[in-house]
Each structure stands twice: as C-alpha cells, then as structure tokens.
Amino acid sequence: MVGLVLGAFLVLLGVLSQVDEGALDRGDKVAVLPITGLIADSESVIEQLKKYAKDDNIKAIVIRINSPGGGVGPSQEIYEEVRKVRDKKKKVIITSMGALAASGGYYIACASQKIFANPGTITGSIGVIMPFVNLEDLAKKIGVRGMEVKSGRFKDTGSSMRAMMPEEKALLQAVVDNTHRQFVAAVAEGRRQPFAKVMQIADGRIMSGEQAKALGLVDSLGNLEDAVAEAGRMAHIKGEPKVVTQTKKKLSFTDLLKQEVRTLIDERMSADPVHIDYLAK
C-alpha cells in the first residue's frame, strides 16, 4: 500500500512538472518579457511572444529592455513580431526601459503602444554601423600577405588585409543609408512623428530618458512597476494586475547540444568581415 501511494505521488509530481504554471492560475494577467544584452538572435523572444499571444488570460505584455542593440535582422524580426501581436492579437504592449535601451533596443520599443523610461536611462542611438579594421600596415611589418580567389570585384569588400576602394566604400555607404532610413521610418511610424523630424536626431546620438521624453521618443518617465500598472489599466484589468514572468526552460541533452552548435555558428558568423548593426557604440 505504501509503495502504491508513493508511486502515485511520484506520478503526480511528474505530471505537475509538465504543466504550465500559468494554466493553474486563471485570471487576467500582465506578462513581462525581458530583452537583455546584445540582440544577436530573435528566436527565443519571438517564441515567447507567440506563447503570450495565444494565452487569453494574458491581456498585456511589458517588454523590459536592457540592451545596447545588436544585429539589424534580429532587431527587425522582433519588432515585426511585436507589431503582429499588438495588431492581430489585440494585446496591449508597453516597453519599459532599464539602464540601457539604445539603437536596436529602441527600434524594438517603437513597436509598442507606450514607452516608459527612467530619467537616467541611456537610449536613442538611432543609427547604423558597419565596422571594419585595416591590418595592412601591420601585416607588412610582420611579413604576412593576404591572398584571395573571388568571383567578383566586390566579393572581398571589407577585407582587413588591404585598404578599401572608393567604389567599395560607396557601395557599403548605400547599404548603411538604406538600412538607416528603415530605422527612421520605424521610429516615425511608431512615435507618430514626421520622418524629417526624426531624421534630424537620427545621427547616432545617445540621450537620457528625460531628454528622449522631451523629444517625443518616450511617453512617460517611470520604472517597471509603473509600466506594469499602466499595462493593466490599458488592458482594463481591475485591481493590481497579476504578473507573469518567463519560466526557465528545462534543457535536455539534445537542447544543450543544439545550443552549443548555435553558439559555434554565431562565433563563426561574428568573424565575418561584413556585418551591419543597430548598435550603440
């Protein structure tokens, strides 16, 4: 009998461990979704956004950003997913900026309905950067020569082993300018400001949360709790809203292996001489 009871208890624990905590706690809620550090991948954030979008108990999402920005692609992917959840799923989405929410971090914030920042939050940095390094003189001093076989004259653009040609710089500048216009357009749309007005301050400058508010880039000054309270009010949640935070996913051996492979790929990609970022420097 004792063995049967113990076995049943263990089975119950196993079942409960597989049940989402949110499913056991009904009622209207506000989810807090953190975006922290360098934005190099969008997969986990988009996965969490989709999960919250499907949950009818979650009426609002607060995106908590502590990031200097990162890759153009991942920043744009998260931005687009936030817009989808906001417009198609009709979820209230508010951004709360922590110590730093600049460049790609601010890009993502523009997809939300309202932006909160602390007075001293570092934000802005509306700009694009494509970094390169020229090791030609150093290579000559140590007797190293670069050799490449390429299919076209622009294929080795950005090589660290030689100076950049004027036509290569013009080509890259056109890419940067185009990507910059995409950033400015996203800010102008999200903040409901004229494109030309945003362009005047879209020169890569950083600013405090207080300065950003004066320029119309931030709606209110306040902390995470203020943003959660406002999200609850906008979602018509009565009383103090229940807050849902992301639970840590239990990783299997296969998940850990995939994670390690992805890290190796990211490191290899970061070594590529040409990459473009929404990143505060």
| Catalytic-role residue among 67, 75, 96, 103 | 103
CA distance 32 to 34: 6
Q: Which residues contact 281 (CB under 8 A, 6 or more apart)?
A: 125, 129, 204
How distant, in Å, are the alpha carbons of 9, 62, 75, 100 from that of 67?
Answer: 44, 15, 11, 6
Do residues 247 and 22 lie in contact, with contact meaning Cβ atoms separated by under 8 Å? no
| Catalytic-role residue among 54, 150, 155, 249 | 155
Axis crossing angle, helix 72-87 with helix 166-191, rounded to the nearest 10: 20
Confirm whether 155 is a catalytic residue.
yes
User: What is the number of residues in the chain?
Assistant: 281
CA distance 1 to 93: 53
Confirm whether 252 is a catalytic residue.
no
Could you list the active site residues?
Answer: 103, 155
